[in-house]
């Protein structure tokens, strides 16, 4: 009698599990069961103006493309991204995409997605995992962005006779844009031996941390000529610290940043920043096109590089009125 009862309960729970899997997009042919492509997306967080613009664009693009978007915000924690990807695998979404907060630590979960036969698209940032574990990487060339910032400084100080002291606010430790912008920047400024990085520290891509670190740098160094910040938000936080120290940003200390979000472009147009390298967050349309191609079994390029430009103060004034983000 007891055996029959246990068998009955076991059978029921198995059926229940199968039902719930199907109920949450178990039919991988159509994902949500509505025939729509189901895309699981794990976002880094909401740490900067760039990130919020990127999120908004992905959500709007999904709606416009008729894609059923399962969106997860990891609050800049890798463990939350891994949990979200595992949840997408369990839901049997059609495609998984994510912007990896750091480059390392993804092999296991990417292998789980591969074993579940769910294709993975990287957006925005890269990983150091084997390239066979994802279909494509759609995002900027961060080394090139750092180089553009460095090249501008080399030109700006080509006639300098004295050392030019630079402090660098790096992005999140271990993140691809932080690693590669630093690499491109420092390679570029090597062309002018007067350009010296006297301090370099992470501000985690946030305004608050950028201000805090710049306050400490201003106390430790009385002879800072230039700040290179890996994103506008850290530059804006540092700008406040510079002003509170009684100095004039854009004049006493020149400021070069990356992103070109509205607040950064306003600071540039107002003469408080001196140069911004654009990092385009509007990846949503390309992501939806790529996800549909991947689902349809079409081949996509292993690397899709985002198109972006640079802004000086005059160009920022022209661009601001029509800036999308
Ligand atoms: C770059 C992106 C970076 C931005 C920062 O593609 O990953 O992360 O430059 C954001 O503003 O926080």
Domain with 264 in it: what CATH number? 3.40.50.2300
Backbone φ and ψ of 34, nearest 5°: -95, 5
Q: Identify the pLDDT of residue 33.
A: 64
Q: Identify the pLDDT of residue 32.
A: 53
Residues 214 and 199: beta-carbon distance below 8 Å = no
If asked whether residues 150 and 239 sit together in one domain, one would say yes
If asked whether residues 230 and 106 sit together in one domain, one would say no
For ligand 1, is residue 209 a contact (CB within 6 Å)? no
For ligand 1, is residue 205 a contact (CB within 6 Å)? yes
Beta-bridged to residue 169, according to DSSP, are: 201, 229
Helix axis angle, 232-244 to 207-220, nearest 10°: 50
CB count within 10 Å of CB 187 equals 13
What length is written for the chain?
325
The continuous run of DSSP H or E covering 87 comes out as helix 78-91
If asked whether residues 241 and 155 sit together in one domain, one would say yes
Does the predicted TM-score (pTM) go above 0.85? Answer: yes
In a domain, 14, yes or no: no
If asked whether residues 250 and 161 sit together in one domain, one would say yes
Q: Identify the pLDDT of residue 35.
A: 82
Token pair recorded at residue 81: 């991204």
In a domain, 203, yes or no: yes
If asked whether residues 113 and 182 sit together in one domain, one would say no
* Closest ligand 1 atom to Cα of 139: 6
d(CA 50, ligand 1 centre) in Å: 6
In a domain, 15, yes or no: no
* Cα(68)–Cα(73) distance, integer angstroms: 16
If asked whether residues 260 and 228 sit together in one domain, one would say yes
For ligand 1, is residue 165 a contact (CB within 6 Å)? no
Q: Identify the pLDDT of residue 16.
A: 40
In a domain, 254, yes or no: yes
In a domain, 210, yes or no: yes
If asked whether residues 266 and 287 sit together in one domain, one would say no
In a domain, 64, yes or no: yes
* Cα(172)–Cα(230) distance, integer angstroms: 9
Q: Identify the pLDDT of residue 153.
A: 98
Q: Identify the pLDDT of residue 27.
A: 39
CB count within 10 Å of CB 292 equals 17
Query: What SS3 class is residue 259?
Result: strand
Indicate the number of domains in the chain: 2
For ligand 1, is residue 274 a contact (CB within 6 Å)? no
If asked whether residues 97 and 129 sit together in one domain, one would say yes
In a domain, 304, yes or no: yes
* Cα(90)–Cα(105) distance, integer angstroms: 20
Please report, for residues 94, 126, 290, 300, 306, the alpha-carbon distance to residue 130 in angstroms, rounded to integers and kept in the order given.
21, 11, 20, 17, 22
Q: Identify the pLDDT of residue 34.
A: 72
If asked whether residues 98 and 227 sit together in one domain, one would say no
If asked whether residues 99 and 154 sit together in one domain, one would say no
d(CA 177, ligand 1 centre) in Å: 7
In a domain, 87, yes or no: yes
For ligand 1, is residue 121 a contact (CB within 6 Å)? no
CB count within 10 Å of CB 295 equals 18
Residues 40 and 85: beta-carbon distance below 8 Å = yes
If asked whether residues 243 and 196 sit together in one domain, one would say yes
pLDDT in tens, the chain (325 residues): 445 554 544 444 444 433 333 333 333 444 556 789 999 999 999 999 999 999 999 999 999 999 999 999 999 999 999 999 999 999 999 999 999 999 999 999 999 999 999 999 999 999 999 999 999 999 999 999 999 999 999 999 999 999 999 999 999 999 999 999 999 999 999 999 999 999 999 999 999 999 999 999 999 999 999 999 999 999 999 999 999 999 999 999 999 999 999 999 999 999 999 999 999 999 999 999 999 999 999 999 999 999 899 999 999 999 999 988 8
Closest CA to 97 of 321, 312, 299, 292: 292
Domain extent, residue 50, equals 38-140+281-308
């Amino acid at each position: 009698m007891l055996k029959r009862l246990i068998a009955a309960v076991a059978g029921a729970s198995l059926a229940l599990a199968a039902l719930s899997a199907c109920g949450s997009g178990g039919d991988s042919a159509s994902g949500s069961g509505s025939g729509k492509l189901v895309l699981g997306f794990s976002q880094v967080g909401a740490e900067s103006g760039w990130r919020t613009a990127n999120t908004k664009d992905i959500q709007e693009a999904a709606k416009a493309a008729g894609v059923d978007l399962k969106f997860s915000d990891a609050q800049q924690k890798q463990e939350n991204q891994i949990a979200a990807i595992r949840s997408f695998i369990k839901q049997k979404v059609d495609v998984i995409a994510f912007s990896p907060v750091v480059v390392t630590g993804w092999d296991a979960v990417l292998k789980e997605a591969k074993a579940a036969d769910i294709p993975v698209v990287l957006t925005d940032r890269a990983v150091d995992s084997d390239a066979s574990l994802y279909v494509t990487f759609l995002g900027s060339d961060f080394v090139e962005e750092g180089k553009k910032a460095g090249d501008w400084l080399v030109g700006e100080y080509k006639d300098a006779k004295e050392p030019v002291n630079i402090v660098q606010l790096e992005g999140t430790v271990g993140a691809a844009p932080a690693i590669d912008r630093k690499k491109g920047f420092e390679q570029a400024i090597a062309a002018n031996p007067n350009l010296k990085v006297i301090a370099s520290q992470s501000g985690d891509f946030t305004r608050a941390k950028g201000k805090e670190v710049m306050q400490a740098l201003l106390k430790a160094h009385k002879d800072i000529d230039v700040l290179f910040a890996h994103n506008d938000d850290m530059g804006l936080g540092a700008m406040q610290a510079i002003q509170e120290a009684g100095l004039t940003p854009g004049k006493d200390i020149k400021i070069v940043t990356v992103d070109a979000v509205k607040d950064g472009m306003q600071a540039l147009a107002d003469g408080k920043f001196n140069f911004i390298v654009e990092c385009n967050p509007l990846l949503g349309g390309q992501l939806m096109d790529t996800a549909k191609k991947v689902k349809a079994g079409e081949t996509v390029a292993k690397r899709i590089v985002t198109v972006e430009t640079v802004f000086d103060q005059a160009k920022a004034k022209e661009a601001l009125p029509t800036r999308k983000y």
